[in-house]
Structure 1
């Protein structure tokens, strides 16, 4: 039997909003590389620097954040599903809400030109999760982990096929050229194609000319990637997103993300998650670096990727919950919660900033990897200051207000009558 969901309290909302805000900032750590350096997201040898501080930047970010921030964001989205559907007569609103989220995702991808948009995936996946909303926390958690494992198995199959292609190519290359069969020649050519780790310098220069200072050119350059991501990508990563969201639904039912669990639960999450995730991530990053960022090295390291990501996401979540339970740094907690309450506005703002800097101002492909984080820290500083100030005067962020208006078909109150800044007891949109 499903655990009942009590009316939300300010404390419970702060926990969800705070973790969401942290995940939002973490997502920008990862996204900024794709926004500013495109194909160098994984491979610093392509552009952006692969020595000194740039290499260390790649290493630290990959060991500590890779894959975990979208994991946290997905978990919080799943928790929000339970909170939203606990309202009476929420069915129609739920589907309208997520159909409009799909539309926001399309806008983010095709108008703001962010090929790594997640809103489209979230809105689409949430349509399927509605049917599971009344399950118990343990069942939701079990099904979520099972779905995640299924997605990891798909990745494992892809990795196995690529490693198999390498083995065939190695065996074929041992045969004298004159004696190679057509199948052996094909195996060698097939691996050459699959072993490419990114575009050539000439292709990068062509892309720069398309993107820098040219909105139409940037759309042409990114269009194929956006189209692939919102078609094949939606199938390919469905079980990953679905699983993480369902885990979030289960963690909400079990009272974990709402700070109702015992302290030892969060300690176990943090210690256990980091004990597994950090060593695996260190192994993967060192393996890739020591093997020259080759396609083979990436595929070999990818064998443990999903296990490391799930474990480290669990560790991050435990740490954030322990921080909240401590009651320390009140200003920081409340400010980050405000960032999380305005997550949709702040997330889309990241795309706007990237569009201005990398397309309109022409900085795409021009900054070193570590320099991208000057932009990240600047955006963080602005949003952590502006978000709580905004919410002292308005009930919602501007895009959250629009989303709620579109969901319910009527305009909710926007400006506060007072500037107390007390949190409104409704689920953050």
Structure 2
């Protein structure tokens, strides 16, 4: 039953629900987007599976020079947040598919069925996080946020887009507050350290400022010993790893969800609803429309992403450089996501490489199974109950594993279907 949520297959096969949905055809364009987004998510998630605290900051683990740096640049320019954004947009569109294809039964029946399935999704998200050991999982978030997004399904596309933009501004406001707080902490600590270096006595406020920034550095920048301790902890047996990851898992499904995940996901779900109602996600627009959308999206998004990424490198991956870039994060990430969608729609409309389009659509139709497979395969490769490769590969070497998983799923998904 959980497969329905990620694939957005709207066939409601609950006999007691009294629903008789129309399941004559899937929207191939959306399946293709979903397949590509799923593969793109693995491009980013593989860092969390294989390296410690290196998702944004490559200096923590996995290499920050040579090919590893090149891969980090590529991810920051094209993929960070965009694949997750496309997936969230498709979930929002899927809500409309779910309710729109039900040809009989009351609205209460549709709502009841949808919310029961979201509850199942939340449950499986908990299992995926705490027992299948993937703290970056999205099922729990989608289950909770989907309940809110469902309420907006009747809004017109323009209002949905305005709502999404407002929510993203809320997310940006959190980032601004974070940056101001960290900049102030850094400024005060730097001044206090300079005073101490001159042999002067610090007052209580100055001592606390240094302690606060030292705590931030400990949370953001990890010593080789800290990395080795984490590698050792994840090289143990299954139940030991379950206990070790418990605090991080709790954080991701509480604090991170409330302040980051919820707003980000809800905004993109509403964006997806708007794009679905306009026919953008169904490849119904003209080639000229998608070309213009790609040019504008990439022109704005990649430009902002480039200056953000260059700033981080210029600042030698300083803590403040990351928080500064989160302020403009959505302004680069959202247009780039739209550019990706436009490019995929052009690919779908072109008719080229039909075998690849078919395979990607099959991957998208099996999104739930393939998504869980990513966790099972990667955790077996990297954690102690499997091959124990955690922290042992350079960043660029992780993508050999990604390529292998992609190839397997491109072959296996069409065969299974």
TM over 0.5: yes
| In structure 2, C-alpha distance between the alignment counterparts of 1:49 and 1:166, rounded to whole Å | 26
| In structure 2, C-alpha distance between the alignment counterparts of 1:170 and 1:343, rounded to whole Å | 49
Residue aligning to 1:277: 301
Please give the secondary structure, in 1, of the residue aligned with 2:206: helix
| In structure 1, C-alpha distance between the alignment counterparts of 2:180 and 2:320, rounded to whole Å | 11
Q: Contact (CA 8 Å) 1:63, 1:285: kept in 2 or not?
A: yes
TM-score normalised according to structure 1 size: 0.86
Please give the secondary structure, in 1, of the residue aligned with 2:137: coil
Q: Contact (CA 8 Å) 1:145, 1:244: kept in 2 or not?
A: no
Structure 2: any 5+ residue segments left out of the alignment?
A: 1-20
Structure 1: any 5+ residue segments left out of the alignment?
A: 1-5, 392-429
Q: Which of 378, 381, 406 is 2:407 aligned to?
A: 381
Residue aligning to 2:239: 216
Change in CA separation of 1:271 and 1:9 when aligned onto 2, cut-off 3 Å:
farther
Question: What pairs up with 1:11-26 in 2 under 5 angstroms?
Answer: 13-26=27-40
Question: How much has 1:170 moved relative to structure 2?
Answer: 2.9
Question: How much has 1:303 moved relative to structure 2?
Answer: 2.5
Question: How much has 1:68 moved relative to structure 2?
Answer: 0.8
| In structure 2, C-alpha distance between the alignment counterparts of 1:106 and 1:269, rounded to whole Å | 37
| In structure 2, C-alpha distance between the alignment counterparts of 1:269 and 1:184, rounded to whole Å | 51
| In structure 2, C-alpha distance between the alignment counterparts of 1:169 and 1:205, rounded to whole Å | 28
Q: Which of 193, 199, 202 is 2:225 aligned to?
A: 202
Residue aligning to 2:43: 29
Q: Which of 236, 243, 246 is 2:259 aligned to?
A: 236
Question: How much has 1:69 moved relative to structure 2?
Answer: 0.7
Question: How much has 1:198 moved relative to structure 2?
Answer: 3.1
Q: Which of 62, 72, 93 is 1:79 aligned to?
A: 93
Residue aligning to 2:330: 306
Question: What pairs up with 1:285-364 in 2 under 5 angstroms?
Answer: 285-359=309-383, 360-364=386-390
| In structure 2, C-alpha distance between the alignment counterparts of 1:71 and 1:167, rounded to whole Å | 34
| In structure 1, C-alpha distance between the alignment counterparts of 2:65 and 2:174, rounded to whole Å | 33
Change in CA separation of 1:184 and 1:213 when aligned onto 2, cut-off 3 Å:
closer
Q: Contact (CA 8 Å) 1:138, 1:254: kept in 2 or not?
A: no
| In structure 2, C-alpha distance between the alignment counterparts of 1:345 and 1:53, rounded to whole Å | 32
Residue aligning to 2:145: 125
Superposed CA deviations along residues 340-387 of structure 1, whole A, max 9, x for unmatched, are 000000000000001211112111111111111011000000001110
Residue aligning to 2:174: 154
TM-score normalised according to structure 2 size: 0.88
| In structure 1, C-alpha distance between the alignment counterparts of 2:59 and 2:280, rounded to whole Å | 41
Question: What pairs up with 1:133-172 in 2 under 5 angstroms?
Answer: 133-172=153-192
| In structure 2, C-alpha distance between the alignment counterparts of 1:300 and 1:148, rounded to whole Å | 17
| In structure 1, C-alpha distance between the alignment counterparts of 2:31 and 2:288, rounded to whole Å | 22
Question: How much has 1:42 moved relative to structure 2?
Answer: 1.6
| In structure 1, C-alpha distance between the alignment counterparts of 2:35 and 2:334, rounded to whole Å | 19
Question: How much has 1:171 moved relative to structure 2?
Answer: 3.3
Residue aligning to 1:263: 287
Q: Contact (CA 8 Å) 2:175, 2:323: kept in 1 or not?
A: no
Superposed CA deviations along residues 38-63 of structure 1, whole A, max 9, x for unmatched, are 31222222221122111111111221
Residue aligning to 2:396: 370
Q: How many residues align?
A: 385
Q: Contact (CA 8 Å) 2:43, 2:399: kept in 1 or not?
A: yes
| In structure 2, C-alpha distance between the alignment counterparts of 1:165 and 1:155, rounded to whole Å | 15
Please give the secondary structure, in 2, of the residue aligned with 1:369: coil
Are 1:390 and 2:416 matched, yes or no?
A: yes
Q: Contact (CA 8 Å) 1:48, 1:368: kept in 2 or not?
A: yes
